[in-house]
Amino acid sequence: MSNEANGQAEAERTTKHARTGLGALLRFLLRDGNLLHSPVLAYAVLASLTRSGMIFSINALAASAAIAAGDVALLFGSIAATLTFSHLARVNSFRLVLTTKRRLRTRLSRQLLDTDSGFFARNDQGKIYSIVTHEVNQISSASVNLIESLEAMLLIAFCIPYLFYLSWPSGLATLAAVLLGCVGYVLAQAPAQENAEAASRVEWQFFDRINDVLRGFKELRLRTARKDDLQDDIIDLAARERELKIRSERLFSLGHVTAQGVMMGLLCLVVVGLPLMAGTEPATVLQVLTVVLLTYGPVETVMGNLSSFSRAAVSHRLIQGLEKELEGDAAHVETVPAPLRSGFRSIRLKGVTTTLTSPGGGDDRFVVGPLDLTLVPGEVVFICGGNGAGKSTLISLLTGLRQPDAGEICLDDEPVTPGRLDTYRGLFSAVFSEFHLFSRLYGLTDQERDRIPASLDQLDLSHRVEVRDNAFSTLALSSGQKRRLALSVALAERRPVVVLDEFAADQDPAHRALYYDVLVPQMARDGHLVIAVTHDEHCFDKCDRLIRMEAGRIVSDTRQHRAASPVAK
């Protein structure tokens, strides 16, 4: 599907859901936003009631010939109570915003941690980052707007019947003004939301370009044309986002201005129209004018917050879309942590097949498999093959990071079902070709942490790195040192299977010899299954089995006679 068709489909979807978006947002704020269990609603109701009492007492004092002590007491009491309850409502609203933000972020982070690795292959980081930060902030702030609007609407709900009591034409005019303002908002809502959502999607691309700047700074410095081209792309995305947000704000503002215009017309009607009507007393005009003036601000608050609700509804829809996708991928993830296994007898792939598709949803397909393979502890298995042969996909399947489309993976002759997946993954430690190095020692037991210093010394890193407060003292290392630092964690974990993907590619000759002649044989002697992806043909005699892959298939699985290491004891 073309980008234009995708954009049109998105626009139609946005328009279709525009009317239901506010309802879904309201249900979210009441249920997940904890509004129903917060005292903020009670404070908002009390603030609107006391404000209504203030309006009533002002009119009572204006209409009476003499100042009554009771009316004065009611006025000052209402003012004090209104200020107190409004303050409490604001403080609790702020607390509610932070609580909603914390709950959303922790829930999304949990879902991201539990999702299948395929999710990250299909989605750009900019989208995820934007939703977890900007969209969560937008929807959390809607809690304050909802409380403000509720307080204002309760006041309006009291004042309109009161206006009908004072003067039915003024009550009818005020009701018509509120309804006309709502109509103006409704007409602008759908296209405004459409542009707001389009702006959010452009912002995702902008975050991706910033990620390119942060991760590709070396390559950008080596070619000025590349740097300038990236900058042009960033400028274009920023301009498109700006234009879409201006269009959205113009429409939101149009609805707001419509409400303002109607209220201004109402004021003119009260000041000019009512005195001209037969039978309208000046005192009544003054009372009506007092009510209209004191409800003018609440009406503006409601109309102004409607645009904030629309933006929050867009954010809610985007968050829901992300959560739905995460829930779909998390269906195969074990939610209850399983105890780690200390060993296994065999891992077997039976007719395992998986199909890779392009991230953009194109027609490019690459089939890996069917794969038949049996692995046992104590072996050193090297996997080799050209680029695109399927080596990394095989590793993903073996480690349980990718689920096969057909066939099955068996652990000790038992199929690895979704319920056993977490236990199965717990067999592996790995240093992938594109690994991530955590500064802190997340998830390690005390015993594993105690092994880190010995691993650092063995890998010739103790002079550069040490462990302080459950964290590495520095990550300012060369690429080869970082890879050895990642291996130090894998050695400390002592899992039954160690996977090393192109580990020696960025090691100098001395550390490459350490890897092939000392570390790998030692891990095998300790009973580990060592699976290593390598292109070092001169070291193929240092494994027990050599697996060659081509075009997604295993073309040979050769049993080797592992050469004795000149260094190993």
Give the least confident one: 146-160, 251-265, 362-376. Answer: 251-265
pLDDT > 90? residue 548: yes
pLDDT > 90? residue 29: no
Backbone φ, ψ for residue 324 (5° rounding): -65, -40
Residue 244 pLDDT: 87
- Residue 64 is classified by DSSP as -
Average pLDDT over residues 267-282: 64
Amino acid present at 40: V
Model confidence at 270, pLDDT cuts 50, 70, 90, reads low
Residues 248 and 352 in one domain: no
Q: Which residues contact 178 (CB under 8 A, 6 or more apart)?
A: 156, 160, 299
Is 10 a domain residue?
A: no
CB atoms within 10 A of CB 328: 12
pLDDT > 50? residue 229: yes
pLDDT > 70? residue 267: no
Residues 160 and 103 in one domain: yes
Residue 141 pLDDT: 78
**CA nearest neighbour of 409 among 423, 390, 389:** 423
Q: What angle do CA 41, 42, 46 make, to 5 degrees?
A: 120
Is 514 a domain residue?
A: yes
Using CA atoms of 391, 396, 397, 400 in order, give the dihedral in degrees to the nearest 10.
Answer: 160
* Beta strands 406-411 and 545-550, pairing class: unpaired
Cα–Cα separations (whole angstroms), residue 231 to 198, 202, 245, 447? 21, 15, 21, 49
Convert the pLDDT of each residue in 171-227 to its tens digit: 777 777 777 767 766 676 777 778 888 888 888 888 888 888 877 777 777 778 888
For residue 44, give both structure tokens: 């908002």
Model confidence at 279, pLDDT cuts 50, 70, 90, reads low
Residue 19 pLDDT: 47
Residue 483 near residue 506, CB atoms below 8 Å: yes
Is 338 a domain residue?
A: no
Quickly list DSSP for 359-391: TT--S-EEEEEEEEEEE-TT-EEEEEE-TTSSH
Residue 248 pLDDT: 83
Give the least confident one: 2-6, 123-127, 178-182, 409-413. Answer: 2-6
Backbone φ, ψ for residue 475 (5° rounding): -120, 10
pLDDT > 50? residue 568: no
Convert the pLDDT of each residue in 231-253 to its tens digit: 888 899 888 888 888 888 887 77
Residues 313 and 398 in one domain: no
Residue 374 pLDDT: 92
CB atoms within 10 A of CB 327: 12
Give the least confident one: 333-342, 453-462, 528-537, 549-558. Answer: 333-342
Is 541 a domain residue?
A: yes
Compute the mean pLDDT over every residue in the chain, rounded to the nearest whole number: 79
Residues 291 and 383 in one domain: no
Residues 400 and 483 in one domain: yes
Of the candidates 297, 330, 363, which is a domain's last residue?
330
| Core vs surface per residue 422-448: b (16+ CB within 10 A) or e | bbbbbbbbbbbeeeeeeeebeebeeeb
Beta bridge partners of 384: 548
Convert the pLDDT of each residue in 515-535 to its tens digit: 888 999 999 999 999 999 988
Residues 300 and 353 in one domain: no
Residues 414 and 536 in one domain: yes
Residue 364 near residue 358, CB atoms below 8 Å: yes
Convert the pLDDT of each residue in 112-166 to its tens digit: 887 777 777 777 778 888 888 888 888 887 777 777 777 777 777 777 787 777 7
Q: What angle do CA 345, 348, 350 make, to 5 degrees?
A: 155
Residue 382 pLDDT: 94
Highest-pLDDT range among 20-24, 226-230, 424-428: 424-428
Percent with pLDDT over 70 in the chain: 83
- Residue 242 is classified by DSSP as H
Convert the pLDDT of each residue in 439-459 to its tens digit: 888 888 888 888 999 999 999
Q: What is the distance between the alpha carbons of residues 380 and 560, in angstroms, rounded to a whole number?
A: 10
Residue 11 pLDDT: 44
The single residue listed with the structure tokens 């506010």 is: 22
Residues 518 and 417 in one domain: yes
Is 498 a domain residue?
A: yes
Residues 113 and 57 in one domain: yes
The size of the chain, in residues, is 569
For residue 472, give both structure tokens: 């590495």
Residue 473 near residue 453, CB atoms below 8 Å: no
Residue 129 pLDDT: 83
Q: Does residue 333 come out as left (phi exceeding 0), alpha (psi in the -120 to 50 range) or beta?
A: beta
pLDDT > 60? residue 335: no
**CA nearest neighbour of 108 among 119, 94, 118, 122:** 119
Residue 361 pLDDT: 52
Is 11 a domain residue?
A: no
Q: What is the distance between the alpha carbons of residues 375 and 409, in angstroms, rounded to a whole number?
A: 11
Percent with pLDDT over 90 in the chain: 10
CATH number at residue 414: 3.40.50.300
Cα 1 to chain centroid, rounded: 26
Residue 373 pLDDT: 92
Quickly list DSSP for 504-524: GGG--HHHHHHIIIIIHHHHH
Domain that holds residue 65: 34-330
Provide the domain count of the chain: 2
Higher pLDDT, 264 or 512: 512
Residue 562 pLDDT: 65
Residue 66 pLDDT: 64
Residues 382 and 319 in one domain: no
pLDDT > 60? residue 13: no
* Beta strands 380-385 and 545-550, pairing class: parallel
Residue 433 pLDDT: 84
Residue 350 pLDDT: 93
Residue 89 near residue 40, CB atoms below 8 Å: yes
For residue 343, give both structure tokens: 């060993």
Sheet containing 529-533: which strands, arranged edge to edge? 428-431, 497-501, 529-533, 380-385, 545-550, 553-559
Would you call 166 helix, strand, or coil by DSSP? helix
Higher pLDDT, 399 or 329: 399
Of the candidates 330, 363, 381, which is a domain's last residue?
330
CB atoms within 10 A of CB 24: 14
Cα–Cα separations (whole angstroms), residue 2 to 6, 25, 241, 361, 483? 6, 31, 20, 11, 41
pLDDT > 60? residue 385: yes
Residues 403 and 501 in one domain: yes
Amino acid present at 262: V
pLDDT > 90? residue 43: no
Residues 457 and 326 in one domain: no
Higher pLDDT, 81 or 223: 81
Higher pLDDT, 15 or 163: 163
